[in-house]
Amino acid sequence: MLKGYNKESFKVVFSMAWPAIVESFFVAFAGLVDSFMVSRMGAYAVAAVGLTTQPKFMGLAMFFAVNVSISALVARRFGERKRRDANSVFLTAAIFVIIASVTLSILFVACADPIIRLCGSSDATPEDIATHNAAVSYFRIIMGGMIFNCIQMAINSAQRGAGNTRITMRTNVTSNLVNIVLNYLLIEGHLGFPALGIVGAALATVLGTVVSSIMSIISISDTETFISLPYIMKEKVKASLKALGSLIKIGYGIFFEQILMRIGFMATAVMAARKGMDSMAAHQVGMNLMGLTFSFGDGLQAAAVALIGRSLGQGKPEMARDYGRTCRALGMIIAAVLITFYFFGARWLMSMFFEEDHIIETGVSIMRVIIFIVLFQITQVIYMGCLRGAGDTLYTAFAATMSVTVIRTLVSWLGGFVFDFGIVGIWLGVLADQISRFTFASIRYKMGKWVKIKI
């Protein structure tokens, strides 16, 4: 598998990727721990958290787009040795993020109840009412504290672009450890803390992001870092329309991509919710476990964005291609390990969350589909990251829209309702989405036009 690959490229990619993988893994792991700890309250609590997932990410879509823009632009300016321009990009983005996050936070908190109903919540039974009320409370707290999450994501994206993946790893790992500890203390009430249930889980998540945002700000307080607050103040770096234009040029495609993707994801979640609370609970755990597999691809994607942006900034397209191939090879190795683990550990994993045999069986069936998803997921995430890092964001937006919004939704509806395969039928739509994105990304990557894009 590794024959013909440059050993030096492997060293560089691994050195930059492993902190990003650990960081992304802990983010996904914290979500899994959230589901595990609230599952002690019953399947309704897991379903409640699941109802908030897609609207939360819909609210963060704009910031995901800004983050990719920051990382790609800082990486390109790093390669070009243009520190002032990189810091101007970061400052412009930071101002935008603060204003936008406050505005959206107020909007989502005020509209939490109808948003959760739109996501498939109902009041048909007392259990449904309890699920809805828990979801609304959780969502209001999460979105009320989103500014801290948005600030740390923006700073960490700039740090990744400059190659400082270890700093962002420390920030996010610490944040998620705080989240896990506070989950233990606040959900069921331990060591004298009140038992707040699902509200405690939400507070733990927000307080974790408060810690990470403080750590992120501290990380750019050093004069020696490429992105530096003291440098911005000393050199009187200002936000600029030019920097804003560059952010928009890369980010608008990603923004529409995120919005349309979230519509597709939300459609899948709504269909899962209509299969009943138990199916929704199994679906949510499946999504958390799939998130763990995504974290590996996401970490390699972060490394690819930084290394490809830097290489293209230095005028070395062949090096950029080499880094892309190397990231993919590492991703294939990781995928093989994960497939083996999920194949033999599916029942054990689901039994950690549920006691009811029928929910466990549903979860195991979902895991069987995830095994096939992993085959395509990690590689497509890496390829998409390579294309975004080069600035080929309109194509990635098209690919994601076709795959998630159209193909995933259509196949999920056919499998779940027309052919009546239940929740597994809905997950066949997720598999179709990953195969489609893999196909689109592979074709574009191998064409090689992305190395000629100027940003």
Split at pLDDT 50, 70, 90, the class of 436 is very high
- What average pLDDT does this structure show over 123-141? 81
Split at pLDDT 50, 70, 90, the class of 411 is very high
pLDDT value for 455:
63
Mean pLDDT comparison of 266-270, 274-278, 320-324, 414-418, highest-scoring range: 414-418
pTM of the model: 0.70
Lowest mean pLDDT among 67-76, 121-130, 141-150, 159-168: 121-130
Split at pLDDT 50, 70, 90, the class of 4 is low
The Cα 393–Cα 246 span in angstroms is 13
Short-list 200, 152, 157, CA closest to 172: 152
Split at pLDDT 50, 70, 90, the class of 3 is low
pLDDT value for 124:
66
The Cα 309–Cα 315 span in angstroms is 10
- CA torsion through residues 378, 379, 384, 386, sign: positive
- What average pLDDT does this structure show over 112-137? 79
Cβ pair 310, 75 in contact under 8 A: yes
What are the residues whose beta carbons fall under 8 Å from the beta carbon of 22, sequence distance 6 or more?
169, 173, 299
pLDDT value for 15:
78
The Cα 19–Cα 381 span in angstroms is 17
Lowest mean pLDDT among 5-14, 146-155, 364-373, 403-412: 5-14
Top-confidence residue, 427 or 316 = 427
- What average pLDDT does this structure show over 77-91? 88
pLDDT value for 251:
77
Q: What is the mean pLDDT of the chain?
A: 84
pLDDT value for 210:
94
The Cα 303–Cα 16 span in angstroms is 6
Split at pLDDT 50, 70, 90, the class of 44 is confident
The answer to whether residue 308 scores a pLDDT higher than 90 is no
Q: What is the pLDDT of residues 331-373, one digit of tens each?
A: 888 888 989 998 998 899 888 888 888 888 988 999 999 999 9
Q: What is the pLDDT of residues 180-232, one digit of tens each?
A: 899 889 888 888 888 888 888 889 989 999 998 999 999 899 888 888 999 99
The answer to whether residue 265 scores a pLDDT higher than 90 is no
pLDDT value for 396:
83
pLDDT value for 414:
94
- What average pLDDT does this structure show over 169-188? 86
String of b and e for 184-214 (b: at least 16 CB within 10 Å)? bbbbbeeeeeeebbbbbbbbbbbbbbbbbbb
- What average pLDDT does this structure show over 316-330? 81
The answer to whether residue 5 scores a pLDDT higher than 70 is no
pLDDT value for 302:
74
DSSP conformation class of 452: G
The answer to whether residue 377 scores a pLDDT higher than 80 is yes
Q: What is the pLDDT of residues 94-123, one digit of tens each?
A: 999 999 999 999 999 998 888 888 776 667
In order, the DSSP letters of 40-96 are GG-HHHHHHHHHHHHHHHHHHHHHHHHHHHHHHHHHHHHHHT-HHHHHHHHHHHHHH
The Cα 172–Cα 211 span in angstroms is 9
pLDDT value for 207:
93
